[in-house]
């Protein structure tokens, strides 16, 4: 086991907000470079962001996480022990980072730091010192004689695991720098679980769901970081940063014992994680975790120096392989139409001169990820011509992660969905024109079946039968255990958890006495009825077309109703599963309407 000398970290995590008053800079005509440079300078931390929430308390887990707002401008006295000295310094807490006067810092450490205020911990660690917070005292260990500045640590310095930008991967500037130009996005992101995935334990505003009063395995003062909002914890064992001896189970509300193990999750849980040193640039999953190192972009304003699109790659580094985006990519390869991810590329890439080609602007609202996200953000979406001949010819993004999930905000819906869970699905899995007129045919009419839309020859308006299982959600069957194949397990589907396969069953929890054979037989009977009734409809329609007159006119409403009902039943694709009551009633109604049409025709 590779041991890394780990500093007992503890001061507060750097989450400094930019003032919400900062606006986006003006862009040059090319849309790439900013005309003003006020956003792209290494400025001092901005002041006076939103008021801080109350500190986390050691009580029972809370159900709803408050926004992780920044703390700024709170004056306090801190006690710092260094060498033989123990002094009290006047500090200002800015977004969980303690700033002291440069003169106090230089006097204590014998350094030569310029400026009015400096971040105590950040500057001390860049000098190669080790910082530990315990029992209300900031203890600093090591020697500052080797350096006279706060530049990067030298090769002889102690490179330590944990929050240590000087030993992390290069090029990361921190979310506060991003917030100078994108204050609204930063503020909304602060409320997400990504923002609090890893927190410094000494941050008084750290959000934790766990209850330390019932923890008998380790001392809270020995913990350096919380992981997953205080479900797991990182501490030093024999000089190595490891997960602690127990973790919190938020559902059961208890601690469960775990064997201490090395912290190997830093590349996804933190920003700028360096596997060689075990250090990272910023706690949690921040802007640069997804958009990449922002140093060049922040310095120049050049949009080409940062990753920003609706594609999957920003998510796949952590949600790929056998997880969500990896499953969607596998679905693209396995399904003829490309699945959610590849449908747009496949359809728009077809030959427009081929018979039956129908693609156009009306398809983009459900097939193009770029179009959908632009609409949801209130922007003007690109047109079909833009994708074929204009600036979006290389854009073939289908239904990607950000189409359904908002990566920057706690939306009020589970999993940061942009819409509630069923609306997320049926906003596209519904007939393009809504409920058709009687006689009309449909395209992916899943919502019509779910609602029980049933036509009849006696009325132009359909009847809404409803659904006896309306409390069941699309994801209950199509996303068992959160799978993104969108494939119901009937009876089971093979999924993977951290590389380990297991079987997930969509049906068994509700239908313990039903087998896959039972389902197959039932769906087979459904398909057979669609075929038989469709053939009968074609025969009667041909008869009506050959006999223009009062009889044909009288039969027409019944033929129209049968046409719409069979189109819905066939194109739903579930073969009756989406609404079992409807599946029974629709065939009775079609049979009745065809009987009446047959009576009226000579």
Residue 352: the pLDDT is 79
Chain segment 500-534, per-residue pLDDT in tens: 888 888 887 788 787 778 888 989 999 999 999 99
Q: Which residues in the chain land under pLDDT 50?
A: 1-72, 145-159
225-237 b/e with 16+ CB inside 10 Å = b?
bbbbbbebbbbbb
Residue 136: the pLDDT is 63
CA dist 18 → 24, 43, 196 (Å): 12, 11, 18
- Measured from the Cβ of residue 482, the count of other Cβ atoms closer than 10 Å reads 12
Chain segment 407-423, per-residue pLDDT in tens: 999 999 999 999 999 99
Of residues 5, 271, 283, the one with CA closest to residue 129:
5
- Measured from the Cβ of residue 367, the count of other Cβ atoms closer than 10 Å reads 22
Residue 602: the pLDDT is 82
Angle between helices 550-571 and 516-546 (to 10 degrees): 160
Helix (H) or strand (E) segment spanning residue 178: helix 175-179
Chain segment 150-169, per-residue pLDDT in tens: 333 333 234 368 998 888 99
Reported pTM: 0.71
Q: DSSP for 444-505?
A: S-HHHHHHTEEEETTEEEEEE---TTTTS-HHHHHTGGG-SS----SS-EEEEETTEEEEE-
């Amino acid at each position: 086991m590779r041991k890394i000398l780990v500093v007992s970290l503890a001061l507060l995590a750097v989450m400094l907000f930019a003032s919400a008053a900062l606006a986006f800079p003006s862009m040059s005509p090319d849309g790439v470079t900013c005309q003003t440079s006020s956003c792209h300078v290494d400025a001092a931390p901005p002041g006076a962001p939103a008021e801080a929430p109350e500190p986390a308390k050691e009580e029972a887990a809370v159900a709803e996480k408050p926004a992780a707002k920044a703390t700024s401008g709170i004056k306090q006295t801190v006690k710092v022990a260094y060498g033989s000295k123990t002094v009290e310094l006047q500090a200002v807490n800015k977004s969980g980072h303690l700033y002291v006067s440069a003169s106090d810092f230089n006097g204590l450490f014998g350094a030569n730091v310029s400026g009015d205020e400096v971040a105590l911990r950040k500057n001390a660690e860049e000098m190669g010192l080790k910082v530990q917070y315990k029992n209300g005292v900031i203890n600093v260990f090591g020697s500052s004689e080797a350096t006279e500045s706060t530049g990067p640590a030298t090769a002889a310095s102690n490179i330590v695991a944990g929050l240590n930008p000087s030993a992390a991967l290069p090029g990361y500037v921190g979310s506060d720098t991003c917030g100078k130009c994108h204050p609204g996005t930063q503020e909304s992101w602060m409320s997400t679980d990504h923002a609090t995935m890893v927190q410094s334990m000494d941050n008084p505003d750290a959000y934790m769901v766990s209850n330390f009063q019932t923890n008998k395995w380790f001392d809270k003062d020995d913990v350096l970081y919380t992981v997953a909002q205080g479900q797991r914890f990182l501490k030093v064992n024999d000089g190595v940063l490891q997960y602690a001896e127990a973790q919190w189970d938020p559902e059961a509300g208890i601690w469960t014992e775990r064997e201490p193990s090395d912290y190997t999750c830093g590349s996804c849980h933190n920003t700028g994680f360096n596997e060689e040193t075990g250090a990272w640039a910023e706690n949690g999953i921040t802007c640069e975790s997804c958009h990449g190192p922002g140093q060049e972009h922040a310095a120049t304003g050049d949009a080409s120096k940062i990753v920003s699109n609706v594609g999957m790659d920003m998510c796949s580094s952590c949600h790929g392989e056998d997880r969500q985006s990896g499953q969607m990519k596998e679905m693209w390869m396995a399904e003829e139409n490309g699945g959610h991810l590849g449908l747009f590329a496949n359809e728009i890439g077809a030959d427009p001169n081929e018979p039956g080609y129908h693609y156009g602007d009306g398809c983009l609202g459900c097939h193009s990820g770029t179009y959908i996200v632009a609409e949801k953000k209130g922007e003007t979406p690109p047109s079909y011509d833009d994708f074929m001949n204009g600036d979006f010819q290389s854009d073939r993004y289908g239904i990607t992660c950000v189409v359904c999930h908002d990566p920057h905000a706690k939306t009020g819906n589970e999993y940061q969905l942009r819409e509630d869970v069923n609306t997320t699905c049926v906003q596209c899995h519904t007939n393009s024109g809504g409920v058709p007129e009687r006689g009309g045919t449909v395209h992916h009419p899943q919502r019509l079946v779910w609602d029980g839309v049933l036509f009849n020859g006696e009325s132009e308006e359909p009847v809404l039968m409803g659904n006896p299982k309306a409390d069941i959600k699309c994801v209950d069957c199509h996303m068992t255990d959160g799978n993104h194949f969108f494939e119901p397990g009937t009876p089971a589907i093979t999924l993977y958890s951290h590389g380990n396969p297991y079987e997930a069953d969509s049906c068994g929890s509700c239908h313990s006495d039903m087998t896959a054979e039972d389902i197959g037989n039932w769906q087979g009977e459904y398909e057979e009825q669609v075929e038989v009734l469709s053939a009968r409809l074609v025969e009667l329609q041909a008869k009506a077309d050959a006999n223009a007159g009062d009889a044909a006119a009288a039969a027409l409403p019944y033929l129209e109703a049968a046409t719409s009902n069979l189109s819905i039943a066939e194109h739903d694709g579930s073969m009756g599963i989406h609404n079992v009551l409807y599946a029974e009633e629709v065939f009775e109604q079609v049979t009745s309407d065809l009987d009446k049409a047959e009576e009226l025709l000579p």
